[in-house]
Amino acid sequence: MSFPALKIGDLTAKIPVVQGGMGVGISLAGLASAVANQGGIGVIAGAMIGMKEPDVAKDPLTANLRALRNEILKARELSNGIIGVNLMVALTTFSQMVRTAVENKVDIIFSGAGLPLDMPHHLLQVCEEKKEEFKTKLVPIVSSARAATVIAKKWASRFGYTPDAFVVEGPKAGGHLGFKAEELQDPNHSLEVLVPQVVEAAKAMEDKCGRAVPVIAAGGVYSGADIMKFLDLGASGVQMGTRFVATHECDADDRFKQSYLSARDEDITIIKSPVGMPGRALGNEFITASREGKKKPFKCVFHCVHTCEQEKTPYCIAQALINAMKGNLERGFAFCGANVARVNKIISVHELMDSLQKEFDDAMSTLSKSVQNMQSKLNFSIKS
């Protein structure tokens, strides 16, 4: 049995899997193109993407825009599949990054870490300036049906635009989370509860705009059986991050990947990020030291996120994540999803997609047998 396709407007992914955008530098053109080549949606993370540019400290805006453009072009050279970018609303360069992504004809922009209330403005502005129609899809990342509805109403009233899809991200995701710390264990905020709510909100939008507004489930999705579960709950696809880190094609250093292989459940911790949000990460000495008040003195040269209060934070999160991506985990830390302890080997993206298909098939087969058994019992009781 094949996966159902994920359709977002005129884009069709044969496999309904979006590879989550993971920064800093964890998912770039290498990983994104590999996922796209397998029929999924590959996503380049835009946060501090210019970290390797020689002028990033002197002119971070130019460096990040150049790197974003280059990564999109590189992914295009490596794949004919669907390529997206993840751009956080909290980025100080958000509007310029959106424009650059649109101008370089990326297929989809996924945007969270805030409500992307002005995103259609940048798309429409580029279209007007270039006298050309750009078909980039705009997909907000939300943590509630209320947020999805607020965005849709703003976009409709101000721009006459309906979101092309939504990613609903639950509290088991890796990295920065769109929840208060006390909500992370609340069953009312579980992804299983959130997905049907956002699907219902999206259906109301579909009735108004006359086209599909698919919902993509994210946060703690690990197996093919999980994919089946969320498709049954009304989602059109899923977003996965953690499992893609443990692939040969992931753009992170091997030491970063190895931290996933050696992770145990008790190693997972929730940090209070300098950007003002809780975040899920693998605990280490760096995190322990910061909690004990041992500051890592720094001068902010990146000015990457609006919500970062550099005078109050014990370390520069951009630098910590750059260090981690390079494998220097003693000077940073690895973000991770709630299921990281289940990762036990590094495989290719092709092998991962094949295993998800097999797990999905097995789950469907088990469900079919269960339904048949129930029908048999029901028929027997009726005959009796």
User: Look-up: residue for tokens 């710390």?
Assistant: 181
Q: What contacts 273, CB < 8 A, 6 or more positions away?
A: 176, 279, 317
Q: Which domains are delineated in the chain?
A: 4-250+344-359 (3.20.20.70), 258-333 (no CATH)
CA-CA distance, 362 to 365, in Å (whole number)?
5
Please tell me the predicted confidence (pLDDT) of residue 56.
Answer: 87
Please tell me the predicted confidence (pLDDT) of residue 89.
Answer: 86
pLDDT tens readout for residues 90-138: 777 889 999 999 999 999 999 988 889 999 999 999 999 999 999 999 9
pLDDT tens readout for residues 232-265: 999 999 999 999 999 999 999 999 999 999 999 9
The amino acid at 341 = A
Kindly report the number of other CB atoms within 10 A of residue 117's CB atom.
16
pTM: 0.93
Please tell me the predicted confidence (pLDDT) of residue 301.
Answer: 58
- pLDDT-derived band at 367 (thresholds 50, 70, 90) equals confident
Q: In degrees rounded to 5, what are phi and psi of residue 168?
A: -105, 115
pLDDT tens readout for residues 171-217: 999 998 988 888 888 899 999 999 999 999 999 999 999 999 999 99
Record the tokens describing residue 348, joined without a space: 């290719």
Please tell me the predicted confidence (pLDDT) of residue 338.
Answer: 96
Record the tokens describing residue 291, joined without a space: 């909690």
Beta strands 11-13 and 6-8, pairing class: antiparallel
Phi-psi region of 39 (alpha: psi -120 to 50; beta: other; left: phi over 0): left
Share of the chain above pLDDT 70, in %: 91
Record the tokens describing residue 44, joined without a space: 């380049």
Beta strands 11-13 and 175-176, pairing class: unpaired
Q: Angle at Cα 162 formed by Cα 160 and Cα 163, nearest 5°?
A: 140
How big is the chain, counted in residues? 384
CA-CA distance, 290 to 338, in Å (whole number)?
22
Q: Angle at Cα 168 formed by Cα 164 and Cα 169, nearest 5°?
A: 140
